[in-house]
Amino acid sequence: MITSRAFAGRRYAVLGLARSGLATVETLVASGAGVTAWDNREAARDEAMALNADIADPLEIDLVGFAGVVVSPGVPLNRHPIAAHAREAHVPVIGDVELFAEARADLPPHKVVGITGTNGKSTVTALVAHMLESAGVPALMGGNIGLPILSRDPLPEGGVYVLELSSYQIDLAHSLACDVAVLTNLTPDHLDRYDGFAGYAASKARLFSLQHRDQVAIVAVDDDPSRMIAGRINHRLHRVSAQDIDPADQARWPALQGPHNAQNAVCAIAVCRMLGLNDEEIERGLATYRALPHRMEWVGEAAGARWYNDSKATNAASAAPALAAFPPAPDQRLHWIAGGQAKGDGLSACRPWFGHVKRAYLIGEAVEAFAAEIGDAIPVDRAGDLVTAVAHAAAAAEPGDIVLLSPACASFDQFRDYEQRGDAFRDLVRALAGRASGDG
């Protein structure tokens, strides 16, 4: 784990004891800090006690003299009483990423890349880490992705920490000066936690205000709010755009298809150039990258078609970029599996891309609502469930076609979560491929 002398002799309160909360307790105790921890779940409190933390609710104790209250990013600071209670005691409310920032002085010399944005930040984070590792640079993903950053072993000298940062994590950081900071894009999101879109945008922009003058900002300027943020940055700034990517180059990167992945790729390329990778190393990383599970994940080929698992697209706005990724060539080639438990936003965000779809296979509770909304725009197969949808798509697909699971719905009507839905799809496709090759 990561520890630091900066915490020794100080006292912290930790509110919320899921994975990152327990990792925080362990780091602070191992660093010589005193910790008072709390979670509503008794089992979590028992785990913290086993790590030598005191157990008490930070809302019910005097916080004067504490070095910080460490909260999970899931704690809504605009509504939770801990914010006012800490403010009265003049104690900062921070997150585990801020503790990492404070521990950096004790780590071997390294770089930190911070990646934020409404969409694409997970992919850019994973892509940058992959490109660095494939070039022989020690790298570690953390923040909003993977294991808690404090639970990881420090990188050797020359390593790069690649952090995916939600707006909540930026809100909880005060000294995180990223060597390279990235904004992928900005659209309305999480407005229940902010004073409108302007408050949300200001949270993202803070990542750049925490940087020093010699550090680098990279902003994808494909949307107006991101362009506005770029216009206010007065240190080293690189503007990038999805338009900078040559389609002929992108065609060589199987896991990075579609306009949204052009933007992801151009952000990652800019980061890696700043970190000293050459063109050959960058190209190798892009060509060998495998998509994150359930995010436009190429599963393989079966029944003459290429199959993609985009189960994480749980609303229409998330599914739309996946449909956009497969235009007719020259005829429609896309078989779209959609449906599940609808979120009430319909398919309007997907409508501009209906012309890309050869046939839609509808599943789950949304079958009739989606069929009515699609109308005559696309041929519809009321498959009902994923097994049937995969079988029907396999029977209808022709060589060169694409079969895409991008449900535009939650999964809870038929699956535990989107991951179980994506795993089931992957298993069905691999069984198809196995039968075709005689392995079954």
Residue 105 buriedness (CB in 10 A; 0-12 / 13-18 / 19+): exposed
Task: Tell me how far the alpha carbon of residue 366 is from its chain's centroid.
Answer: 26
pLDDT tens-digit profile of 233-264?
999 999 999 999 999 999 899 888 888 899 99
Identify which has the larger pLDDT, 191 or 302: 302
pLDDT tier, 145 (very low <50, low <70, confident <90, very high otherwise):
confident
Question: What local confidence, expressed as pLDDT, does residue 147 receive?
Answer: 82
pLDDT-derived band at 291 (thresholds 50, 70, 90) equals confident
Distance CA 303, CA 288 (A): 24
Between CA 286 and CA 320 the distance in angstroms is 23
Q: Check pLDDT > 50 for residue 440.
A: no
pLDDT digits (tens, 9 = 90+) for 346-367: 899 899 999 999 999 999 999 9
- At 191 the pLDDT is 61
* Residue 307 CA to its chain's centroid (Å): 22
**Which range is least confidently modeled, 150-164, 181-195, 225-239, 390-404?**
181-195
Kindly list the catalytic residues: 121, 144, 190
| pLDDT over 60 (residue 437) | no
Burial call 410-430: b when 16+ CB within 10 Å, e when fewer: bbeebbeebeebbbbbbebbb
What CA–CA distance (Å, rounded) separates 249 from 282? 12
Q: Is the pLDDT of residue 439 over 50?
A: no
Please state the rounded mean pLDDT for residues 71-78: 82
Percentages helix, strand, coil for the chain, rounded to the nearest 5? 40, 20, 40
Amino acid identity, position 381: D
Q: What average pLDDT score do residues 77-86 get?
A: 90
| Between 291 and 221, residue with greater pLDDT | 221
* pLDDT at position 434 over 70: yes
Report the mean per-residue pLDDT for the chain: 93
Q: How confident is the model at residue 192 (pLDDT cuts 50, 70, 90)?
A: low
Which whole number is the average pLDDT over 318-346?
90
pLDDT for res 436: 55
Beta bridge partners of 384: 363
pTM of the model: 0.79
* Mean pLDDT computed over 383-412: 96
Distance linking the first and last C-alpha atoms of the chain: 44
**Percent of all residues in the chain with a pLDDT value above 70, rounded to a whole number:** 97
The angle at the Cα of 311, spanning 305 to 316, to the nearest 5 degrees, equals 105
From residue 280, give the alpha-carbon distance in Å to each of 129, 213, 215, 221, 320: 16, 30, 25, 26, 32
